[in-house]
Structure 1
Amino acid sequence: MMQTKQVRYIIFISIVLAATLLLVLFLRVYGVLQDTQASTNVERTKVVIITSDVLGDQSWGSLAYKGQLKIEEHFPVSVNLYDDINVKNDRIITETIVQAADWGADLIIGHGREFSEPFENMALWYEDIHFVTVHGEAHLSNQTAYSFHQGEFEYFAALAASLKTKTNNIAILDPFEGSERNIEFINALEYYLPEANFYYEAVNSRDDGEKAVEIMEDLLEQGVDVVYSRGNAYNPDIIHMAKNIGFYVIGYLEDQSYLAPNHVLTNVMNDIPQVYMSIMNDYFSDEGLPAGSVLLSDEDGVTGLSPFGAMFTEEELEFIHEEIERYKRGELSF
C-alpha cells in the first residue's frame, strides 16, 4: 500500500514538473515570437542606391552592392539598388529618382561624384528626401557628400614605388582626369626619389580594361616599371599584364595582391561599404545627416594600406615603417 502511494506521488510530481517545463518553454517561444513580430513591425527607412556602374566582380558598382548588404545587416532599412544608370542621360537619371520617390525613399545615395549635379537639380523638387553622394559636392540643405582623404597613405605608396623602381620611371593610371587629386603621391615621390620621372594618364573609364592595357603598353615603352593603378575594375587587367611582362603595381580600393603576389607592392585601401555605414550612422544619429561635405578619415575605418609584398627586404620594410611612425609623430612632412 505504501509503495502504491509512493508511485502515485512520484507520478504526480513528474506531471507537475513536466507541465512547469512546458509552460516555461511556451512562454519563451511566445516571447521570441513577440520580439520577432515587433522587429518586423518596425518602420524601416527606405534607402535607394544608384550606381552608373554594373555589379560585376571587382567593379566600382560591386562596392555599392556590398554597401547595401552591410547597411541591411546593421540598420532597420529597406534598400533598392539601381545599377548601370547612365548619369549623363537626363531623362534616365530623372526617371530613376522619380521611381525612387514614388517608392517612398527617405534617402537616395549616389555611388560616385558624378551624381552631385543631377542630385542637386532633383533635391530642389524633393525636399523631404535626403540626397547623398560618395565623393562630389553638396550645396543644398538636403544634400550631403561623403569623401575620404587617403593622401597620407599615398605618401607611403610612393615610398614603396621609389624603393622598387629600377628605371626611375613611375606612373599613375587614373580612371578619370584628376592629377590634382594625387598631390600626396607626387610630393612623396619628389621627396624620396627626386630624380624620378613621373607619368600621368587617364583611361576615362573605371572598367575599360582594354583601354587601360593600351595606355599601359605606351607607358612601358617609355620605361615605366611601377604604376599606381587606380581603376579597381580594370586593375586586374593591369595586374595580369604585370605578372606576364614583369613590372610592379600599386593596387587600389581593395587588396588585390592575390592576383599577382610577386608584382603588387601594396594597395591603397578604401573601404567603401564602411562609407555607407558612416552615412547610416549619421542618418540615425540624434543630429541626423549634416548638409554639405563630410570628410572621413582612417579613424572612421575607410582608408589604409594593405601589407607590403614579399619583394621588400627586411631593411626596406623597417625603413617604411619608421617613416610612417615619423609621419604620425609629426616629424615628417612632404
Structure 2
Amino acid sequence: MLKRFGVILLCLLVLAGCEQPTKTGKLKKVGLLVPDTVNDQVWGTKGYKGMLKIQSRFNVDVYIKEGMNSELRVERAVKEFDQKGVNLIFGHGNEYAEYFNKISKNYPNIHFVSFNGDAKNKNTTSLNFQAYAMGFFGGMVASHMTKKNKVGIIAAYEWQPEVEGFYEGAKFENKQVDVNIQYVGQWDDDQTAMTILDNMIKAGVDVVYPAGDGYNVPVIEKAKEQGLFAIGYISDESDLGKSTVLTSTIQHVDKLYELVAEQYNNGKLKSGNLHFDFKDGVISLGEFSPLIDDEFKAEINSYIEDYKKTGKLPNE
C-alpha cells in the first residue's frame, strides 16, 4: 500500500513540475540560423524571441548561429546541429530556402524551415507572410492622417506585397493622395534609405512607411525630428514616439515559430510553401497613435475583423 502511494505521489510531483512545458512528441532540439545578428531589435531579435518561446513551451534545447550568410557556413552549421541531435532547423530569411533545397536530402531526419522562399523537398517548408493586407491597412492609416495628401513608401524590393497593398489602401481611403514609392535595393542600407527620406521630405511627403527592417528605425527617428508621421514595420514601434508612429504593420515571427514547432511536434507540419495572415494570429496592426480619431480606429478594426472572416479587403 505504501509502495503504491509512493508511485502515485511521484507521478503527481512529475505532473506538477511539467504543467508549463508541452509534452514533447517528434521535437527533440531546435536550431536557428540568422544571416546577421539577433541583436538588431527587429527581424533577428524576433527570431531569437521565437526560439525562447519554443524552449519554454516544449522544454527542449535550442541553438542559434549568427552570421550565417553563405552556403558554406550554412552547411557547416547544419552538420554541427545534426551532431547535437537537432531535428528542426529555422533559416531566418528567404536565402535559406535555396540552401535547404540543396542539403536537406542529406539529412532526412531534420526538417528545414525557411522564409518567403520555394521549398521543394519533403523535409523542407517555407513560411510566407501574406503581407498585402497589412500593407493595405497601413496605407489606409497613412492616407487618413496625411495633411498634405502625400505619403511615401521606402521599400527594400519591388516584390514586397506590402508595398502594393499600402498603395491600394492609401488610394481606397483617399483617392486624392499621392503615393511616392522608392526602393533601397537592400534590407539594411540605411544610408540610401535616409537619402530617399530627405528627397521625400523635400517633395512634401508627411507620412512615411519604411518597409525594410534594417533601416526602419533610423528613418522613423528622422521623421520624428522633422515632425512627420510614420507607419512602423515588422515590430510595434510605438515606443519610438506615439505622436510619430501612427501604427505598425506587425509580423509576429515569434508566434509563428511557436506554431510551426507545435505542428512539427504533433507530426502535422506540411512540406512546401505555407502562407499565414491576420486570421492565423501572426499578422496585426500595432498600437494606434492617440492622434488618430476613435471613429476611424473603429472603422479600420471592423474592416480587419471582416477580412479575418471573409478574406476580402474593403475594396473587393
Length-normalised TM-score, structure 1: 0.81
Is 1:228 the counterpart of 2:209? The answer is yes
Q: How does 1:210-229 map to 2 (within 5 A)?
A: 210-229=191-210
Deviation at residue 53 of structure 1 after TM alignment:
2.1
Are positions 1:144 and 2:132 aligned together? no
Residue equivalent to 1:73 = 56
Residues 125 and 274 of structure 2 are in contact (CA less than 8 Å); yes or no, is this contact kept in structure 1? yes
Per the alignment, residue 223 of structure 2 pairs with 242
Q: Distance in 2 between matches of 1:194 and 1:147?
A: 30
Aligned CA distance change for structure 1 residues 148 and 30 (closer, same or farther; 3 Å): closer
1:309 aligns with 2:282: no
What is the aligned partner in structure 1 of residue 315 from structure 2? Answer: 333
Residue pairs, 1:145-164, within 5 angstroms: 145-164=126-145
Matched, 1:83 2:66: yes
Q: Which residue of 2 aligns with 1:46?
A: 29
| Structural mapping, 1:156-175, within 5 Å | 156-175=137-156
Distance in 1 between the 2:16 and 2:296 partners? 56
CA RMSD of aligned residues (A): 3.1
Q: Are positions 1:292 and 2:272 aligned together?
A: yes
59-68 or 196-205, which deviates more: 196-205
**AA aligned opposite 1:47:** V
**Stretch deviating more after TM superposition (180-189 or 155-164):** 180-189
From 82, 85, 92, the counterpart of 1:111? 92
CA contact 1:54–1:84 (8 Å) conserved in 2: yes
Residues 127 and 166 (structure 1 numbering): CA distance in 2 closer, same or farther, change over 3 Å? same
CA-to-aligned-CA distance 1:181-208 (integer Å, 9 cap, x gap): 5322222222222233222223344344
Q: Which whole-Å CA distance do the structure 2 matches of 1:158 and 1:224 have between them?
A: 14
1:278 to 248, 259, 275: 259
4+ residue segments displaced more than 6 Å: 33-37
Q: Which stretch of the first structure deviates more once superposed, 134-143 or 211-220? A: 211-220
Q: Distance in 2 between matches of 1:323 and 1:294?
A: 24
Q: Which amino acid aligns with 2:119?
A: A
Q: How many residues align structurally?
A: 307
> Which 10-residue stretch deviates more, 187-196 or 66-75?
187-196
For the residues of structure 1 that align with 2:224 and 2:182, how far apart are their CA atoms? 21
Equivalent residue for 1:129, pick from 92, 103, 110? 110
2:93/2:114 contact within 8 Å kept: yes
Aligned-residue offset at 1:174: 2.2
Post-superposition offset of 1:262: 0.5
TM-score of the aligned structures, taking structure 2 as reference length: 0.85
**2:184/2:193 contact within 8 Å kept:** yes
Q: Secondary structure at the match of 2:106?
A: coil
Residue 288 of structure 1, CA deviation: 3.0
1:252 aligned to which of 233, 242, 247: 233
Deviation by residue 1:11-56 (Cα, 9 ceiling, x = unmatched): xxxxxxxxx9xxx99x95896379869x9xx896021110102121
Name whichever of 70-79 and 176-185 sits farther off.
176-185
Asked whether the equivalents of residues 238 and 287 of structure 2 are also in contact (C-alpha less than 8 Å), the reply is: no
C-alpha separation in 2, matches of 1:310 and 1:34:
46
Identical-pair percentage = 29
The answer to whether the Cα contact below 8 Å between 1:53 and 1:59 also exists between their aligned partners in 2 is no
CA pair 210-50 structure 1, distance change in 2 beyond 3 A: same
Give the drift of 1:179. 4.5
Aligned partners of 2:141 and 2:170 also within 8 Å? no
Q: Which residue of 1 aligns with 2:46?
A: 63
Equivalent residues in 2 for 1:87-106 (5 A)?
89-106=70-87
Q: Which amino acid aligns with 1:202?
A: Y
Could you say if the C-alpha distance between residues 189 and 34 of structure 1 is closer, same or farther in structure 2, counting changes exceeding 3 Å? Answer: closer
Structure 1 alignment gaps of length 5 or more: 1-19
8 Å Cα contact 1:270/1:303 also seen in 2: yes
- When residues 151 and 34 of structure 1 are mapped into structure 2, their CA distance, relative to the original with a 3 A threshold, is closer
Asked whether 1:267 is paired with 2:267, we answer no
Which residue pairs with 1:13 in the alignment?
none
Change (3 A) 1:99 1:269: same
Residue in 2 that maps onto 1:191: 172
What whole-Å deviation, never above 9, does each CA across 1:233-262 have from its counterpart, x for those lacking one? 422211211111111100012211111111
Tell me how far apart the structure 2 counterparts of residues 331 and 284 of structure 1 sit (CA, whole Å).
Answer: 34
- Partners of 1:308 and 1:264 lie apart in 2 by 8
Of stretches 118-127 and 226-235 in structure 1, the one that deviates more from structure 2 is 226-235
